[in-house]
Amino acid sequence: MDAIKHTYVQVNGLNLHVAEIGSDSSPTIVFLHGFPEIWYTWRHQMIAVAKAGFRAIAPDCRGYGLSDIPIEPEKTSFVDLVNDIVSILDHLAISKVFVIAKDFGALVAYPFLLFHPEKVAGIITLGVPFMPPGSHQTYLALPEGFYIRRWREVGRAEADFGRFDAKTVVRNVYILFSKSEIPIANENQEIMDLADPSTPLPSWFTEDDLAVYGDLYHKSGFQTPLQVPYRSLAEKIEYPQQDLKIETPAMLIMGEEDYVFKFPGMEEYVKSGEVKKYVPNLEVIYVPQGSHFVQEQFPDQVNQLILDFLNRNKY
């Protein structure tokens, strides 16, 4: 971990934190985190790819971790995050990358690829596949207590989270998201109430790990993370091409116990091959017993999958 360097890049009026390891002359991988994560979620992967001769950079999204909070976090969009990646790569003089993204990071990674296909040598997403425009509205088929519906409601999540310190919020979300069932609250219950305080952390996520997350979410708060992804899911992105077929080499890594599979239509979309209508070169890997945090749960297995993909598609 000590070999990972930490720098700041001034991007679109904000200082964005970038964790980095590996030689400047090596092929580069951009790692994009999800929620409730930060750059640190990629710690195992960054060290592994650097040892294998690659350069890894992992930014904290604006409003997350050590990056600046936007002046108006409630106006942050997915397109803002895409533009931030472009600016970071321009600042670092990197013309081509592999993109590896987890959770909502996939909703940044694929638009980045569609806007800038010449910059992407290959893409790997974990937990979330490519989703065509409009498909994210499937959450409306789930009950009112579904966590995304609750967190989209301005003020409700703020009040729910505000009962606890940031470290406890992250602990609760990690415990809930590590399960195979979708977090859904009852009518008179909040999402944080679904987590039993006596439940231990997953064996692969230590109290020291939690402390890193807790400290950085204490700094950033949750206003931007609630805006992107949850309150921006209906954002309409105007792509430069009408045909959204993605020919770039691609991989999807899904834990077999990932609760995202329970989203309406998600398992069928992936397992039937419908996703390959949009990403024809997609390779789908299922990790037995894998949760939504498969890259932390089974780092050696995920690292090998990543390295095999990188070496097959090295530029």
Q: Are 47 and 1 in contact (CB under 8 A)?
A: yes
**Do 112 and 130 meet the contact criterion of CB atoms below 8 Å apart?**
no
**What's the CA gap between 248 and 202, in Å, rounded?**
35
Among this protein's residues, is 315 annotated catalytic?
A: no
293 closest CA partner among 264, 265, 259, 267: 259
Of 40, 110, 230, 259, which is the active-site residue? 230
Instruction: Give the CA diameter of the chain.
Output: 56
**How does DSSP assign 250-274, residue by residue?**
EEEEEETT-GGGGSTTHHHHHHTSG
Structure tokens at 86: 């472009």
292: annotated active-site residue: yes
CA 237 to chain centre: 18
Q: What residue type is assigned to position 74 of the chain?
A: E
In a 10 Å sphere around its CB, with 0-12 CB exposed, 13-18 middle and 19+ buried, how is residue 305 labelled?
Answer: buried
**Active site (annotated) includes residue 116:** no
Dist. CA 150–CA 146, nearest whole Å: 6
Beta-ladder partners of 252: 125, 284
Residue type, 197: P
Sign of CA dihedral 192, 263, 59, 73: negative
Which of 17, 33, 136, 292 is labelled catalytic? 292
Amino acid letter at 108?
V
60, 103, 160, 209: the catalytic one is 103
Which of the residues are catalytic?
A: 103, 230, 292
